[in-house]
Chain A
Amino acid sequence: MKSETFGRIDDPAVPPGEYLDLAFSPLSAPLRSRWRNNGLSADFLGDYVTTFLPAGDGIASDQRHQNEIKHAVTYIANELLENAMKYHQADRHVAIAIRLELTSENITVTSTNGISGEQAGQYRLFIDRLSQGEAGDLLVKHLEAGAKRGAAASSGLGLLTMVCDYGAELGWRFEGLPGAPDSGTVTTRAVLSIRNILGVSQ
């Protein structure tokens, strides 16, 4: 699988700021039985981020603002984990991982999972459409298509809502695995500006 990056994604060699990693070893249990784990992990990251926020920092310490940040992180972490669990290619020994990272301006949530070459191709097509169109229009088209044709047509909705409803900037890294030409890993990153989440003009 070809290695390439799209959108807002940092050089992996650059060490992140403060961060928290959760990783799940390759899972063999059925999707349904491990689904609950997504919610628990996402709730944990949402709770955890509020402890990262500097106490006494005017805008972020307010209870209502903390609630907004907590919810945004929980929603985005949940969607990234759901996608990672749905599309993870279980036969490769790649862990599903999610990282929460905080700087003074941004909160970043990043997921990594194994992916087949075919799914990577479909994911790239979605990224192409997102980079060429307006996310809000794509979102409405996805919802209309999902209503008519069912779940398959609405795949990608989680990412679109991150952009449209939470102002997230997305980035991706596809990487090949040695000795496995038709599979690899995908890293999906959502960057939230703390000011944007709180609706504070710059």
Chain B
Amino acid sequence: MTFVNGQSFEVNLDPATATVFFKGALRLTGSEDYAPILTILRATLAREGNQVIVDLRELDFLNSSGITMFSRFVIEARDRGDTALTFVASDSVPWHARSLKNLQRLMPALQIRIG
């Protein structure tokens, strides 16, 4: 599976570049509803020594259950020890500057690039 969408969002995986693109507003009810998206994120960790990119520039809104989902993914990437993880953010989306730093506290090697 490389694509999930709902009423207000789209998530796309480009397997060739191990990049996951997020678009819209994510406010699902909890970990059960976020599971298909976490599955897509985990697919990027399949190869060893991988460069993984999570492109959030078009993700305008994320609720706290979504923050939990990203933190699970970041912790899994951290614990593998061989994944170079980059989140691409936008300085015009307010939650990026406010909340992505928490993920960096979980994984200090996480790169946050303003794109």
B contact residues around A72 at 8 Å (CB): 94
A contact residues around B95 at 8 Å (CB): 71, 75, 165
User: Looking at the complex, which one of B29, B63, B105 makes contact with A32 (CB distance below 8 Å)?
Assistant: B29
A147 pairs with B31, CB closer than 8 A? no
Please report which residues of chain A, range 52-68, place their CB below 8 angstroms from some CB of chain B when the two chains form the complex: 64, 67-68
- Chain B: residues with Cβ within 8 Å of the partner, total of 26
A contact residues around B109 at 8 Å (CB): none
A166 pairs with B63, CB closer than 8 A? no
- CA A166 to CA B102, docked complex, whole Å: 13
Q: Is B47 an interface residue (CB 8 A)?
A: no
Q: Is A157 an interface residue (CB 8 A)?
A: yes
A140 pairs with B99, CB closer than 8 A? no
User: Smallest Cβ distance from A113 to chain B, in angstroms?
Assistant: 16
Q: Is B27 an interface residue (CB 8 A)?
A: yes
Cβ-closest chain A residue relative to B29:
A35
User: Smallest Cβ distance from A47 to chain B, in angstroms?
Assistant: 13
Q: Is A116 an interface residue (CB 8 A)?
A: no
Q: List 24 A-B contacts (CB under 8 A).
A: A35-B29, A36-B7, A71-B94, A71-B95, A72-B94, A78-B61, A79-B64, A82-B63, A82-B65, A136-B105, A139-B102, A140-B105, A140-B106, A143-B68, A144-B75, A146-B72, A147-B68, A151-B31, A151-B32, A151-B68, A161-B99, A164-B102, A165-B98, A165-B102
Please list the residues of chain B having a beta carbon within 8 angstroms of any beta carbon in chain A.
7-8, 25, 27, 29-32, 61, 63-65, 67-68, 71-72, 75-76, 92, 94-95, 98-99, 102, 105-106
Please list the residues of chain A having a beta carbon within 8 angstroms of any beta carbon in chain B.
31-32, 35-36, 38-39, 64, 67-68, 71-72, 74-75, 78-79, 82, 136, 139-140, 143-144, 146-147, 150-151, 154, 157-158, 161, 164-166
Task: Identify the 8 closest CB pairs spanning chains A and B, nearest first.
Answer: A71-B94, A158-B64, A143-B71, A165-B98, A151-B31, A147-B72, A147-B75, A157-B64
